[in-house]
Amino acid sequence: MKNNQQTLPVSGGKLKHVFVLSTAMLSFISFWKAAAIVLCDFGSSAYYSGSIAMNAFGAAFPWFVLGVMLFAGVMLSVYMESCLMFTRGGVYVVVREAMGSVMAKLSVSALLFDYILTGPISSVTAGIYLGALLANLLPLAGLNWPISPRIFAVVFAVTVTVYFWRANIRGVKESSDNNVKIIAFVSVVAVILISWSIYTLCQRDNIILPPFLPELTDHALGWTKNIPWLKTAGIIGFIMAFGHSIVALSGLETLAQVYRDLEDPKYPNLKKTVITIFIFSIIFTGGVTFLAALVIPAEHMPQYADNMLGGLAMELQGPYVARLAMQTLVVLSGALMLVGAVNTSFFGSNGVLNRVAEDGILHDWFRQLHPKYGTTYRLINIVASAQILTIFLSGGDIFLIGEAYAFGVLWSITFDTLSMIILRFKKPDEKREFRFPFNIKAGNVYVPIGLSIVFVILLSVVGMNLLTKKIATIGGVSFSIIFFIIFQISEKMNERKAQLLPPDDDKEEKMNTRMESDILKVAGELKRSRRILIPVRNPNSLVHLSYVLENEDDDDTDIIVLSAKIAAGLHAGEETMTDEDREVFRSVILMAEKYGKTVKPIFVFSNDPFYSIAQVAHALKANEIVMGVSGASGAEVQLEKMAMAWGMIKKPEEEIHEVTARVVWAGRQMSYRMR
Amino acid sequence: MSNITLTSLMTPGSIFFLDDSLDSSYGKKEALSFLASHLKDEVPRDVASTELEELLQMSGDSQQLHASSLYLAFAKFPELRDIHSVLGISRKGFDNGGNSPVKAVLVSLVPRNSAFFQKHLDFLSSINSLFTDEFVSKIAEAADPQAVYEMLAS
């Protein structure tokens, strides 16, 4: 090793100029929180899916909403396989890996359509529920409520959208704690509503189950109205009805976004998340919609066409005041979930567009940062503007929005499913902790029979929806084409610019670094009983980090990742991290996300890495130092250098704790107890 | 704490003042050659002296940590049962490519076996703990090898 005689300014042997990395992605969440985040989006469809389905094909709607919720279990399993393959996944990444950039752009366009319409359908629905409640409450106070429900819904929806527009411009982050509270409250309301509904039904002499056969309206038939032979095939009607109910599946993509935040152990926690989401949605979206169909008399149903769960509350057996209280709880729970979904739509669409932008597919103009808040305000402005325009164009009609909404939902899950099938053949050796069931092993390929069946179902629904939902087809296809063209043009412009300008360092991962004047300040941030120090330098050589993340529990162990860069001729305060240095930490963060374990990355400049490792280990009272093997020198030489460095930092009068230095490489390790 | 101390490995006869033994223009190579010659009785018979010097220089150059006035070199042999060391002291110091001149050269022959590895590492650690720049300056000013030995023992 080169003997670099230049030294950093040191004071009393302390390490100066320590960079500590802080990024939101280094904190992980429990499966409860993950499920709550998904349900705040996915579960909110309970408030409008029944209404939209009923508007399309009449009284058979609860069967189909329940059927879609059962199908949601199937789709959750598809997402499970894709999440476990790609820690930072989602439709865009999965489709890009399977089918390439062009199809990925198309899928993202459909997904954006989904996200942009999530806001209007959620906020308008919340407005309608609130308007209906006010129409019931205000007369009790002697006030008339002359405002049309739809006008009120539009005003409310625009207000909510503007609120979240500003919040996202300012960079207000979603809180998973709030999501848990909302779901907990909704669960309590759901239990009361279900119990009371069952009681109401028990008071009735006869309970008539809803008819099973859908009666599609002319509007719901769309262009197929002019294709008589289609009506003779019974199954076609079921597919059409299923297609009109598919809006209940909106929000599943959130699972792919939230997976990277899921704590260790990833796979078991993902299973628990999926099961929780499935059970909740069956009971809430499926079950409560069904109870609404049973409890609300057929002759009253038209007045609750667009606020079915509010109608359910008002048709329960009991005093008016109690029913009004129940309606208030239903509206409150709905408003919380639906308004939360508006925020998710901003967050989700911004996230997807930033991910697309990483691949150079979006022109830098879109990714310009707000001068004050540092957010991608132009993307947020585009999303907000599109949402507000949609709200005004819809005039508060959730059926109009719902029809268009289904396009984005359906196409994104269809693209995802097809990609998972292709990846079985394209990447047969890729490690999969979970495979969608029903496969036939042929050589090293698990031929996906189950996935293929799901794809066929989705494709048939896609086909039917293209024919039956005129607005969705025209709007969705136009939107997708427009965005696809924007992506293509942006990509070409970026390619021309690539040679002229330095790379944009506004990467997806916000790597905030703070500089500490003394390593001991970092020591104060470590709270756990054990501490392991992991030196890293090469982003492609992290076997030792993987070893620690696999074997250690971050509940009782602080895992500190140290990058010590050799730098000569340094002057205090001039040291900065380069892109190469950040690349190391990006790999570290990706690995930490894969295992769902928290790490503390720190970066130091040094003229001798072993000396700085010893200094940091001593300062932080590390119990263990785990190094990767150096191809240049070998494990023995590394431990010899470590021993020498440890000797140099020891002071005769100081009681020094024992540290185990370990070198880990493929299947082997060598260790030394430093005293 | 290491079970091995320098004084258990050396006698005053293992300590040499290089300025007295070599010509004035000596450098690292000459120092290593001189010190290695005093270990030749411990070296396994089939290792030539030039090869030993090469091994010592390789290890010394690769093990050098940041600016230090100690040059530590060792060669490992499976036939050995214990560490054998000699210490060379340069009052004027010689240049080793860095800012600080090297004033102490410790040359050791070390057993190469896994059971001894922990002891070897403990030895390296305690050597580096002991031979601070301050200590090296002190021993460079010592009158004779006996004085150096007494400083090592204290």
* Cβ within 8 Å, pair B66-A674: no
pLDDT at A185 > cutoff 50: yes
Cis peptide before A265 (omega within 30 of 0): yes
Question: What does the pLDDT look like over B8-36, one tens digit per residue?
Answer: 878 888 899 998 888 888 888 888 889 88
Q: Is the pLDDT of residue A387 over 90?
A: yes
Closest chain A residue to B132 measured between Cα atoms?
A648
Using the 8-state DSSP alphabet, how is residue A303 labeled? G
In a domain, B128, yes or no: yes
With a pLDDT cut of 70, the percent of chain B lying above it is 91
In a domain, B120, yes or no: yes
What pLDDT does A663 receive?
94
* Of the partner residues A607, A633, A647, the one whose CB lies closest to the CB of residue B127: A647
Which long-range CB contacts under 8 A does A136-139 form with residues at least 24 apart? A136/A314, A136/A324, A136/A327, A137/A324, A137/A328
**Position A594 pLDDT exceeds 70:** yes
d(CA B136, CA B94): 13
CA–CA gap between residue A455 and residue A435 (Å, rounded): 15
The pLDDT, as a whole number, for residue A567 is 64
Over residues A563-576, mean pLDDT: 62
Query: Are the beta carbons of B85 and B10 closer than 8 angstroms?
Result: yes
A178 pLDDT above the threshold of 50: yes
Please write the tens of the pLDDT for every residue from A17-38. Answer: 677 766 545 678 899 999 998 9
For residue B1, tell me if it sits in a domain.
no
Proportion of chain A above pLDDT 70, given as a percent: 90
Query: Taking all residues of chain A, what is their mean pLDDT, rounded to a whole number?
Result: 85
- Per the structure, how many domains does chain B have? 1
d(CA B130, CA B154): 11
**Contact by Cβ (8 Å): B125, B2:** yes
Enumerate residues 6+ apart whose C-beta is below 8 A from A445.
A424, A425, A428
Secondary structure (DSSP) of A112-126: HHHHHHHHHHHHHHH
Is B129–A647 a contact, with Cβ atoms under 8 angstroms apart? yes
Please check whether residue B69 is in contact with residue B101, taking contact to mean a CB–CB distance below 8 angstroms. Answer: yes
> So what's the pLDDT on residue A231?
63
pLDDT at B62: 66
pLDDT in tens, A143-175: 877 778 899 999 999 999 999 999 888 876 666
Closest chain A residue to B118 measured between Cα atoms? A672
pLDDT digits (tens, 9 = 90+) for A67-116: 999 999 999 999 999 999 887 767 888 998 999 988 988 888 888 888 89
Q: Tell me, what's the pLDDT at A502? A: 47
Query: What angle, rounded to 10 degrees, do the helices at A176-202 and A31-42 form?
Result: 60
- End-to-end Cα, chain A, rounded Å: 25
- For position A352, what pLDDT does the model report? 80
pLDDT score, position A652: 66
Select the residue of B1, B64, B96 nearest A675 (Cβ to Cβ). Answer: B1
Please, which contacts does B20-27 make with residues 24 or more away whose CB atoms are closer than 8 Å? B26/B94, B27/B94, B27/B95
- pLDDT category of residue B1 using cuts at 50, 70 and 90: very low
* Mean pLDDT, residues A386-395: 93
On the question of pLDDT at A9 being above 50, the answer is: no
Residue A571 reports pLDDT greater than 50: no
- What is the mean pLDDT of the segment spanning B89-101? 81
> Among A57-61, A71-75, A109-113, A119-123, which is the least confidently predicted range?
A109-113
Smallest CA–CA separation between A537 and chain B, in Å?
A: 18
Confidence tier at A230 by pLDDT (50, 70, 90): low
Q: What is the ipTM of this complex?
A: 0.91
Of A32-36, A488-492, B95-99, the poorest mean pLDDT is in B95-99
Q: Show residues of chain A in contact with B126, CB under 8 Å.
A: 647
> A644 vs B63: CB contact, 8 Å cut-off?
yes
Residue A511 pLDDT? 58
Residue B43 structure tokens:
């070296």
Both structure tokens of A672: 């030394």
- Inter-chain CB proximity B124 and A636 less than 8 Å: no
Closest CB to B124 among A5, A643, A673: A643
Contacting residues for B24 by C-beta, under 8 A, at least 6 apart? none
List the CATH number of the domain containing B77. 3.40.930.10
pLDDT of A351 strictly over 90: no
pLDDT higher than 70, residue A574: no
What number is the average pLDDT over the span A124-128? 95
Chain A closest CA to B68's CA: distance in Å?
Answer: 9
Fold held by A18-22+511-674: Rossmann fold (3.40.50)
The CA distance from B69 to the nearest CA of chain A, in Å, is 11
Across the beta sheet with B84-94, the strand order is B15-17, B84-94, B102-111, B70-77
- Mean pLDDT of the region A196-215: 91
The residue-averaged pLDDT of A440-468 equals 93
Which of B59, B113, B129 is the best mutation test for A, with the most CBs of A within 10 A?
Answer: B129
Which residue of A4, A636, A650 is in closest CB contact with B129? A650
Chain A nearest-CA distance from B134, in A, is 12
Ranges of each domain in chain A: 18-22+511-674, 29-488
The answer to whether residue B114 neighbours chain A at the CB level (below 8 Å) is no
Q: Does B5 touch chain A (CB under 8 A)?
A: no
Segment A250-287, tens digit of pLDDT: 888 889 888 888 888 999 999 999 999 999 999 999 99
Q: Model confidence over A417-432: pLDDT tens digits?
A: 999 999 999 999 888 8
CATH number, span A29-488 = 1.20.1740.10
Which residues does chain B have within 8 Å of residue A652's beta carbon, measured at their own beta carbons? Answer: 129
Q: Please give the residue range of the domain that contains residue B144.
A: 6-153
Which residues on A lie below 8 Å from B124 (Cβ)? 640, 643-644, 647
End-to-end CA distance of chain B, in Å? 16
Percent of chain A with pLDDT over 90: 44
Q: How many CB pairs under 8 A join A and B?
A: 81
Quote the pLDDT of residue B64.
Answer: 61
